[in-house]
Structure 1
Amino acid sequence: MRVDVEQDKCVGAGQCVLLAPEVFDQRDEDGIVELLDARPAPGVREGVREAAAACPAAVIRLVEA
């Protein structure tokens, strides 16, 4: 799995950080998503999928491989 985010469309809701903190964080100054791991380990991938589904701005894109 590869993860991509569109920071310019992020609304800073933080659902991704709550569901997959190993993969996502938020910038302190504005809450915009930061990608910590573009190729997450198998053990956290379900959380990443949940984060992508829960994102209100739909800025998380997953490429399954």
Structure 2
Amino acid sequence: MSQNPGTVGKSLLKVRLSDKQWEQVHRINITLADEYKTRREMLLKRLDVTIQSFMWSDKAKVRTP
């Protein structure tokens, strides 16, 4: 954005897409959204497991009410 400040908010696509191309864009969007969801769930699970492992330590058991 700092290299091209005049392009912020402007469309990058300068041509019209056909119905077939829009369908491809839609399928790609669904695929990427599914991939993002899977990655997000994996990261949350890793965080949960990491926190649980810290809670097993002797120091954490002493500090936990």
Q: TM-score, normalised by structure 2?
A: 0.24
Of Structure 1 and Structure 2, the greater strand share is in 1
Q: TM-score, normalised by structure 1?
A: 0.24
Q: State which structure, 1 or 2, has the greater radius of gyration over its C-alpha atoms.
A: 2
Instruction: Identify, as 1 or 2, the structure richer in helix.
Output: 2
| Structure with larger RCO (C-alpha < 8 A, sep 6+) | 1
